[in-house]
A and B are shown apart, each in its own frame.
Chain A
Amino acid sequence: AQSVTQPDIHITVSEGASLELRCNYSYGATPYLFWYVQSPGQGLQLLLKYFSGDTLVQGIKGFEAEFKRSQSSFNLRKPSVHWSDAAEYFCASGSGNTGKLIFGQGTTLQVKP
Chain B
Amino acid sequence: DTGVSQDPRHKITKRGQNVTFRCDPISEHNRLYWYRQTLGQGPEFLTYFQNEAQLEKSRLLSDRFSAERPKGSFSTLEIQRTEQGDSAMYLCASSPNRGPVYEQYFGPGTRLTVT
Contacts and interface: CB of A to CB of B under 8 A. Distances in A.
Contact of B103 (A45, A46, A105): A46
Interface string A76-94: 0000000000000010101
B74 interface: no
A97 B101 contact: yes
A106 B41 contact: yes
B42 A104 contact: yes
Nearest to B33: A99
B100 interface: yes
A100 B42 contact: no
Nearest to B91: A43
Given A32-B100, A99-B31, A101-B104, A92 B4 contact: no
Nearest to A42: B108
Interface residues of B, number: 28
Contacts, number: 69
A102 B58 CA distance: 12
A11 B63 CA distance: 39
Contacts of B31: 99
Contacts of B108: 41-43
A71 interface: no
Report the contact-size class of chain A (Cβ under 8 Å from the partner): 20 to 34
Contact of B41 (A92, A94, A105): A105
B109 A101 contact: no
B85 interface: no
B106 interface: yes
Given A41-B111, A51-B100, A98-B56, A103 B105 contact: no
Given A43-B91, A43-B109, A44-B91, A99 B102 contact: yes
B103 A43 contact: no
Contacts of B43: 44, 90, 101, 103
Nearest to B55: A98
- Please give me the 7 A-B residue pairs with the lowest Cβ-Cβ distance, nearest first: A103-B42, A99-B101, A94-B102, A43-B106, A44-B106, A43-B108, A100-B45
